[in-house]
Amino acid sequence: MAAKPQAPANVKPAFKLLPLTAEDAHRCVDIYFAAFQNPHSLACWPRVPSIRAFWEHMILDELAEPGAHWLKAVVTSPGASTNDVPDLNTAQRIAGFCKWVAPKPGQVPDTTLPQWPAEADDLEIVATDPAYQGQGAGSQILRWGTERADADDVEAYLEAAPDAVRLYEKSGFREAGRTDTYIENERVKGEWYRNLYMLRPRRDTRKGEPQR
């Protein structure tokens, strides 16, 4: 795991969610490659310059996608501006990022298992730099989207890597389907990988569920 960036001793770790910009794409790919160490990611995405470039271009293209909300969790201290961690440069201050996608009513979902609800908010990607994991950035990103889903009274959908299932369950997502894939190639020795498909029901249909 990478060493934790050193913040001044008097700065309590906290994160501020800001819109992601084109300048951040490079750092996001670094975070993506560092964070996703599961066999599926390792098998599909060799960490080579051409794949890096592919990811960076994809992020740049999708920044303008209608309904997409790209956010970065920026290291700060509570109630302060983002410039109060002087030891970190602009890129290092980005602890994690995500892409939430707003509902696209009327659009035919281009996925199977389970049927992707046209009315559902969708979390497409979330990753926290391993140096910052376990400090609350992921939960803050989840809260941003689930509060919005509740305000809009829509379901939310995501596909969960094993490491993230507990976080998603705590945010109200429940398993709606799963695939188990045996992954083996030149980078992965041969192991089973479980991907969960998770839905978070609309607010008024979550009766009996613990409210956050």
Cα separations in angstroms, 170 against 35, 51, 209: 20, 33, 10
Cα atoms found within 13 Å of the Cα of residue 170, Cβ hemisphere only: 10
Q: Which residue has the tokens 């009274």?
A: 153
Per-residue binding string, ligand COA, 117-136, x by CB under 6 A, is: ---------xxx----xxxx
Question: Omega before 114 cis (within 30°)?
Answer: yes
Considering only residues 11, 18, 30, 36, which one is a binding residue for ligand COA as defined by CB under 6 A? 36
Considering only residues 11, 18, 68, 167, which one is a binding residue for ligand COA as defined by CB under 6 A? 167
In sequence order, which residues have a C-beta less than 8 Å from that of residue 150 and are 6 or more positions away? Answer: 203
Is 31 within 8 Å of 94 (Cβ atoms)? yes
Written as one letter, the residue type at 22 is A
Nearer to ligand COA, 1 or 48 (CB): 1
Nearer to ligand COA, 25 or 142 (CB): 142
Q: How far is the CB of 23 from ligand COA (least distance, A)?
A: 21
Is 210 a binding residue for ligand COA by CB under 6 A? The answer is no
Q: How far is the CB of 138 from ligand COA (least distance, A)?
A: 2
Considering only residues 29, 71, 85, 160, which one is a binding residue for ligand COA as defined by CB under 6 A? 160
Q: What residues between 82 and 111 interact with ligand COA by CB under 6 A?
A: 96
DSSP, residue by residue, 16-46: EEEE--GGGHHHHHHHHHHH--SHHHHHH--
Considering only residues 28, 59, 149, 161, which one is a binding residue for ligand COA as defined by CB under 6 A? 161
Given the rule CB under 6 A, which residues bind ligand COA?
35-36, 96, 126-128, 133-139, 160-161, 163-164, 166-167
